[in-house]
Structure 1
């Protein structure tokens, strides 16, 4: 019985074995990844051609900077040759000094290749010193070490974390460790050198990571601004479409009702006239149905408030009073003739003044704002300006915010123009002209022959 139970019961060490297998498999994977990284850093990975130094446009200054850099590298090479000549023969000293220092000339364009050449030069220097010196405390010339540290920093800063790790490990394993075994470099000096190399590589990689993060932030900000601009245009077009629907639907409904009621108002009309009225009623009803179907696609579930009557020029004084209660200094001048403005233009004028006044309160708090709306025979002119006493309007030369984008879109859809720019003596102004041609004026609306001139106290 006990034997049967032992044969049926599962082994108790299965989870432990699975965890051990996963650990070993993960360890082998990391070792394989590290070996591949070292191989690519040492010779397999192609070097990228970069340009770290952007020379000025002036040709003479460019040549002067290039000559100065070449002179510095040449002086470092001479210094390295002098130090190496005390240990190895002269021709070999020049060759080793060139391998260590002259790769600096490639650092601005081929940093990884320059680092590889300099690392080979330092390693060959270690092998060349065997038998030529008793026990040097430091086998490499100071100028060669300076050049190598610069190449370490540039390589880590250009290529990022993976190459930086490979460069650090290869420096410790292929440059520093041979010196301990061949020329008896003290282990303490080896540890200090390894720490210095690691710090330089970490600094370069940190700068690389920061630059990458800044580039990603700039790209994300550009995408966000483009998305907000597109959203502003779409929202403004949607609102304009709803307002056009509210205005045109009213007149189309009146046409259908009048065409339906005409035969009852005037009995005994000819059959051809009755058919004409019927065609007018049917066409207007069909057009109204199609318009509502298309505009319905633009409406959202939470836009019930937009179905309310749209404000117009007659609501601008109310808006100005609310702004004054909020602490703004606003001067308002309204001038319109005997004929009221068409409903579409009426609503657009209100929206433009509303957005311009909001921008003035947001970007120039405490400034005095002047609003003027003038109705002529051809168009309605809108002028909103502030004196910018505190912070002024949007930055000169810019396109403004998304509100300006919506205002321009509204004016262009009505065939008008809108200009928004800084004023010559400070502040910001918005000037718009909305034509009346082609837009039928509504019946009713604003009272005939009105003029309002209000001044802020």
Structure 2
């Protein structure tokens, strides 16, 4: 549980008691709820109903015993009995408030009963107090639990003076300590579980963020070849222009020199940045970046690994910009890889639809047709596909297909990379 009573850290039993007493003497609106408030609704509401019934029963039993056994007048027995056992009804939501009211009722009962009887308090009220103490121990900080135990022990120890046997008081105090300790252990477990869940969620977010950054770095390295190719063309054309055009004016010749130098400098800076994105043990790419012209090789590789791939091309194929061509190839490649990993032996339908202003890629598998030979960890393929499509201004949909299996659909505008 989060610390509801912020205070500077102190050491020693005296400081712990002082801080805990300050907590229980200064009620706050944000005091933590009991453990029942954090369980599922299907268990919480029956437990709250049972707690309300117990509170009502313990209250009625306490009032009856005060009137009959302790000979307390009914006008006095009613408010004292309600104070001692009645707070159990609200202890699930406000355990510390419930303990305050119950402790006050026990103190007033000790005054009303005086020295009469072996035990000055009704047994149902003490049972209600034990349940309330458990809720306190499970919800408040440890220093507050220690202070609650100390005050409760003092109130119970006050019963020794009127004539209660000391050994019996020791047993009662031990029961209160056990209730508080048990509640504290439950509260500590809840705190650890909440912290573990929080750390797990933070780690999941960090891994997702890291996956996005890694995929963006990979995409940047792949697109480096595309940019380098265009910049090289610019540099070569600027270099060759003075030789191809006779009688070129000096001003134009100087302009081509500026263009050539700018292109070379851009190439150098691009290569330097991409080198920073490359891992220490990763070599530079030597092969040219692939495109949809290598789709047949990709399909043959997928069929070699057990998939049955059907390719359909709708519309008239057209030349694609290098970034769109590379991203389309990677999307089909990653989709087939995911199908081979999660649906081995499946039939996969690949459709390339050349529309008026965009290329639509659809890859759908019919689900696994044979058992997986082994479970392999999933990568971040969907993250990479989404990053590529987003970079090009397109739309990606990925999820279970209506008739089973998995469906990936990407729409990439033709001129997005410009």
TM-score, normalised to structure 1, is 0.73
In the alignment, what sits opposite 2:109? 125
**Which of 57, 63, 66 pairs up with 1:84?**
66
Distance 1:236 1:104 in 2: 56
Distance 1:390 1:147 in 2: 61
Secondary structure of 1:303's aligned partner: coil
| Distance change >3 Å, CA 363–CA 155, structure 1 → 2 | farther
Distance 1:234 1:312 in 2: 23
Q: CA offsets, 1:38-68, max 9 Å, x none? A: 533653575744455779xxxxxx9xx9999
In the alignment, what sits opposite 2:154? 174
In the alignment, what sits opposite 2:326? 347
Q: Contact 2:24–2:144 (CA<8 Å) still a contact in 1?
A: no
Q: Contact 2:359–2:411 (CA<8 Å) still a contact in 1?
A: yes
Q: CA offsets, 1:298-340, max 9 Å, x none? A: 34433324465323334444444444444x4241416496654
Q: Contact 1:317–1:332 (CA<8 Å) still a contact in 2?
A: no
Distance 2:281 2:353 in 1: 35
Q: Does 1:110 align with 2:94?
A: yes
**CA shift at 1:177, angstroms?**
2.5
Secondary structure of 1:87's aligned partner: coil
In the alignment, what sits opposite 1:301? 280
| Distance change >3 Å, CA 203–CA 307, structure 1 → 2 | farther
Distance 1:204 1:362 in 2: 48
Distance 2:163 2:285 in 1: 85
With 246-255 and 431-440 compared, the bigger mean Cα shift is at 431-440
**Which of 235, 239, 248 pairs up with 2:218?**
239
In the alignment, what sits opposite 2:6? none
In the alignment, what sits opposite 2:234? 255
Distance 2:369 2:60 in 1: 62
Structure 2: 5+ residue stretches without partners:
1-9, 39-44, 371-377
**Which of 97, 110, 113 pairs up with 2:81?**
97
Aligned residues: 393
Distance 1:178 1:35 in 2: 19
Secondary structure of 1:179's aligned partner: coil
Secondary structure of 2:360's aligned partner: strand
| Distance change >3 Å, CA 142–CA 318, structure 1 → 2 | farther
**CA shift at 1:248, angstroms?**
1.8
Structure 1: 5+ residue stretches without partners:
1-27, 56-61, 392-399, 441-457
In the alignment, what sits opposite 2:200? 221
In the alignment, what sits opposite 1:39? 21
Q: Contact 1:41–1:167 (CA<8 Å) still a contact in 2?
A: no
Distance 1:338 1:129 in 2: 98
1:27-426 to 2 correspondences below 5 Å: 30-37=12-19, 39-40=21-22, 42-43=24-25, 46=28, 48-50=30-32, 73-85=55-67, 86-90=69-73, 91-133=75-117, 136=118, 138-171=119-152, 173-185=153-165, 187=167, 189-269=168-248, 271=250, 274-306=253-285, 308-326=287-305, 328-333=306-311, 335=313, 339-365=318-344, 367-375=346-354, 378-389=357-368, 402-426=380-404
Aligned-residue RMSD, C-alpha: 3.8
Q: Contact 2:347–2:366 (CA<8 Å) still a contact in 1?
A: yes
| Distance change >3 Å, CA 222–CA 180, structure 1 → 2 | same
Distance 1:165 1:68 in 2: 28
**CA shift at 1:209, angstroms?**
1.9
**CA shift at 1:261, angstroms?**
2.0
